[in-house]
Amino acid sequence: VNFKLLGTAAGGGFPQWNCACSLCDLSRKLPELVRPRLQQQALFSSAAAGLFLINASPDIRFQIEANPELHPRSHQGKRNTPIQGIILTSADLDQVLGLLLLREFQPLTVYATNLVRQTLEANTFLRMLERVPNQLSWVEIHPGKPFALAGNITCTPIPLPGSLPYYAGVRGASDQASLGVLLEADGVRLAYTPAVPEVSPALRSIYDSCDAIMVDGTFWSDTELNRTDPATPLARSIGHVPMSGEDGTIALLANVGARQKIFIHINNTNPVLDPRSDEYKFVIDAGWRIGQDGWQLN
Ligand SMILES: [Zn+2]
């Protein structure tokens, strides 16, 4: 299986449109040093199965144009796409807004839990994807239950504790609200988890079984947002284990079995975005890498 990161920033992207913090400022002034990033997005493909997206970011149009494998094929008629399906890990706007940009009457297949589907269908905007019969096809997926994609790829939704986004207007946790993705093909296993609310024993053992893991790198510390603005929440309270500290992902996953450990979904406040920072060096010394837009894993 071929896996590619098309965006590696948390929601809002990097730089964030209304942010004048030193990191966003650096990414505007010295983009070669502190690289701008599109919002989190990934694709995977195999010759037999075709190409699948994991989520649909608000930057999807730029991500499609920047990656030729996502372009329509001129020999296949005037309107087409190589995208065989889109797997949704949650109903968060950062993960689904791109669906609305993929309308133009293009048939789409979306893999989602029943709860995520219902949450999206409750929004009238989504009707733009349901204007003609067979425009939007849903495939229901279940936390912890593997399903096969054409060819030899097996995909297992990893259950993670979480709740629906604010716009849904419902509180309370559900095992259907937030997922990771475990991909398996030709004996290679890869975990994709852009939002990690806790490193449970079950998640740890999935990571241990993998060749490569892509892990929530939203925040360096629990108080990162809170330090600049006391009104903002702690990282853990909004569902992200930070990288640093005794109970951060770097410490908790220090001896994990996976050969490749990559942080993704980096927030614009995270000091690791500057490769000159002590935090960046710490991450690299600990055997991790900071994912970059355009990175490919085979
Ligand atoms: Zn910023």
Distance 265 CA to ligand 1 centre (A): 14
Q: Which two tokens stand for residue 93?
A: 């706007």
Ligand 1 center to 249 CA (angstroms): 22
- C-alpha of residue 12 to centroid of ligand 1, in Å: 9
- For residue 174, how far is its CA from the centre of ligand 1 (angstroms)? 31
Distance from residue 270's CA to the centre of ligand 1 (Å): 9
Specify the pLDDT at position 5: 98
User: Would you place residue 244 in the very low, low, confident or very high pLDDT band (cuts 50, 70, 90)?
Assistant: very high
Q: What is the mean pLDDT of the chain?
A: 95
Least confident range from 209-213, 227-231, 260-264: namely: 227-231
Distance 248 CA to ligand 1 centre (A): 22
Q: Which of 23-32, 213-222, 223-232, 282-291 has the lowest mean pLDDT?
A: 223-232
pLDDT, average across residues 167-172: 89
Q: Is residue 174 pLDDT above 80, yes or no?
A: yes
Q: How far is the CA of 18 from the centre of ligand 1 (A)?
A: 8
**What's the gap in Å between 19 CA and the centre of ligand 1?**
4
36 C-alpha to ligand 1 centroid (Å): 11
Closest CA to 158 of 215, 109, 118: 215
From the list 272, 223, 280, the residue with the least C-alpha distance to 9 is 272
Q: How far is the CA of 267 from the centre of ligand 1 (A)?
A: 8
DSSP string across the chain = -EEEEEE-B-TTTBTTTT--SHHHHHHHH-TTTS--BPBSEEEEEETTTEEEEES--TTHHHHHHH-GGGSPPGGG-SS--SEEEEE-S---HHHHHHHHHT-TT--EEEEE-HHHHHHHHTSGGGGGGSSSTTSEEEEE--TT--EEETTTEEEEEEEE--B--GGG---SB-TTSEEEEEEEETTEEEEEES--S---HHHHHHHHT-SEEEEE-S-SSTTHHHHH-TTSPPTGGGT---SSSTTSHHHHTTT-S-SEEEEESB-TT-GGGSTTSHHHHHHHHTTEEE--TT-EE-
Number of Cβ atoms within 10 Å of the Cβ of 278 = 10
**C-alpha–C-alpha distance, residues 98 and 85, integer Å:** 13
Q: Tell me, in angstroms, the distance from the centre of ligand 1 to residue 96's CA.
A: 23
The token pair that represents 260 in the structure block: 């490749």
Between the CA of 264 and the centroid of ligand 1 the distance, in Å, is: 17
Question: Average pLDDT of 112-128?
Answer: 96
Parallel, antiparallel, or unpaired: how do β-strands 178-185 and 260-264 relate? Answer: unpaired
Q: Which residues contact 172 (CB under 8 A, 6 or more apart)?
A: 163
**224 CA from centroid of ligand 1 (Å):** 12
Q: Which of 41-45, 138-142, 147-151, 209-213 has the lowest mean pLDDT?
A: 147-151
pLDDT, residue 229, reads 79
| Distance from residue 26's CA to the centre of ligand 1 (Å) | 9
Distance CA 209, CA 117 (A): 30
Task: Report the C-alpha gap between 233 and 197 in whole angstroms.
Answer: 14
- How distant, in Å, are the alpha carbons of 127, 208, 287 from that of 262? 37, 14, 9
The model's pTM: 0.96
Residue 214 CA to ligand 1 centre (angstroms): 23
Contact predicate 207/257, CB 8 Å: yes
CA 25 to ligand 1 centroid distance, Å: 7
Q: How far is the CA of 92 from the centre of ligand 1 (A)?
A: 21
Among the listed residues 208, 210, 206, the one whose alpha carbon sits nearest the alpha carbon of residue 189: 210
pLDDT at 93: 96
Ligand 1 center to 195 CA (angstroms): 20
Band of pLDDT at residue 275, cut at 50, 70 and 90: very high
Instruction: Provide the pLDDT for residue 236.
Output: 92
CA of 253 to the centre of ligand 1 (A): 27
